């Protein structure tokens, strides 16, 4: 059994690294110059970003198949299920991709533009490279920790960071649930910014009450998966890769 002190040291190192990676993405030059970007160009960025959102479901399905522990699968399934909400009577509501489409329309993008703008070569490359993170380590001893760390950081923690940065401009036209009611309410960007967020350090997740997706996955990393220096190094490595891919995606717009 891993000593408590050793575990704390591992988590401290990972928490420190995560904070620095988050800072790295937040300080991407594109986010700095958002106020001066014209609206049409901003919409173009969001339309490219939508192609990455399509990958979320694929990645979640892929991780469910690749996971060996049922307890972790349950959490991943739960999060995936939220992508396709239903009423309490089981009637399907708008999926998160449909809500994204709706937010884009409310931001002024036309249906034609959203539907016909092609994916750029860079977006395609980033999308493919991101998917590879979840498969290329299949034969490695640390595959399980790698995919959970990657899923949490790439699909939740950094997504919330991206949307928090983009929200500064999105909020000129869309409101949060408690915001300016003269603007249409954001049904996608705002909620993902909130419910995906890292919100607490690894190891400090609340055991009761509503947790974010990042926190739900963090619990498995803390309790089951990060047990040695090697596990930690896998997390550091894959999280850095995920952050670099996000930065490279935004590089194409500057
Ligand atoms: Fe999420």
pLDDT for res 4: 82
Class of domain 4-251: mainly alpha
Please list, in sequence order, all residues whose beta carbon lies within 8 angstroms of the beta carbon of residue 174, skipping any fewer than 6 positions away.
103, 106, 107, 183, 184, 185, 186, 189, 190
Cα-to-centroid distance, 103 and ligand 1 (Å): 17
Contact status, residue 237 vs residue 150, Cβ threshold 8 Å: no
pLDDT tens-digit profile, the chain (254 residues): 568 889 999 999 999 999 999 999 999 999 999 999 999 999 999 999 999 999 999 999 999 999 999 999 999 999 999 998 999 999 999 999 999 999 999 999 999 999 999 999 999 999 999 999 999 888 888 999 999 999 999 999 999 999 999 999 999 999 998 877 789 999 999 999 999 999 999 999 988 789 999 999 999 999 999 999 999 999 999 999 999 999 999 999 99
Contact status, residue 7 vs residue 226, Cβ threshold 8 Å: yes
Cα-to-centroid distance, 79 and ligand 1 (Å): 7
Cα-to-centroid distance, 248 and ligand 1 (Å): 22
Cα-to-centroid distance, 241 and ligand 1 (Å): 19
Cα-to-centroid distance, 164 and ligand 1 (Å): 14
Cα-to-centroid distance, 144 and ligand 1 (Å): 19
Rounded distance, CA 73 to CA 50, Å?
26
Return the domain boundaries, the chain: 4-251
Rounded distance, CA 162 to CA 159, Å?
5
Both tokens of 16, joined, read 């420190």
Ligand 1 (single-atom ion) residues, CB below 5 Å: 156, 196, 213
Rounded distance, CA 182 to CA 253, Å?
31
Cα-to-centroid distance, 155 and ligand 1 (Å): 7
Cα-to-centroid distance, 2 and ligand 1 (Å): 30
Cα-to-centroid distance, 219 and ligand 1 (Å): 15
């Amino acid at each position: 059994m891993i000593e408590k002190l050793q575990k704390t040291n591992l988590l401290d190192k990972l928490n420190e690294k995560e904070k620095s990676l988050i800072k790295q993405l937040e300080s991407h030059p594109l986010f700095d110059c958002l106020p001066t970007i014209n609206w049409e160009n901003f919409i173009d960025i969001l339309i490219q970003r939508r192609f990455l959102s399509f990958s979320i479901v694929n990645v979640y399905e892929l991780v469910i198949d690749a996971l060996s522990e049922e307890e972790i699968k349950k959490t991943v399934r739960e999060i995936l299920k939220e992508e396709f909400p239903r009423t309490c009577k089981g009637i399907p509501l708008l999926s998160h991709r449909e809500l994204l489409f709706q937010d884009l329309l409310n931001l002024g993008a036309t249906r034609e533009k959203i539907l016909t703008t092609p994916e750029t070569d860079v977006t395609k490359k980033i999308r493919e490279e991101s998917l590879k993170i979840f498969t290329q380590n299949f034969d490695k001893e640390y595959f399980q920790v790698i995919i959970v760390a990657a899923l949490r950081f790439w699909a939740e923690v950094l997504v919330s960071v991206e949307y928090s940065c983009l929200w500064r401009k999105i909020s000129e036209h869309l409101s949060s649930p408690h915001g300016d009611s003269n603007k249409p309410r954001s049904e996608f960007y705002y909620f993902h910014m909130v419910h995906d967020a890292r919100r607490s350090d690894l190891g400090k997740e609340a055991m009761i009450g509503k947790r974010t997706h990042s926190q739900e996955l963090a619990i498995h990393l803390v309790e089951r998966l990060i047990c040695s220096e090697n596990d930690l190094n896998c997390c550091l490595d894959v999280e850095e890769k995920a952050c670099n891919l996000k930065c490279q995606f935004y590089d194409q717009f500057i």
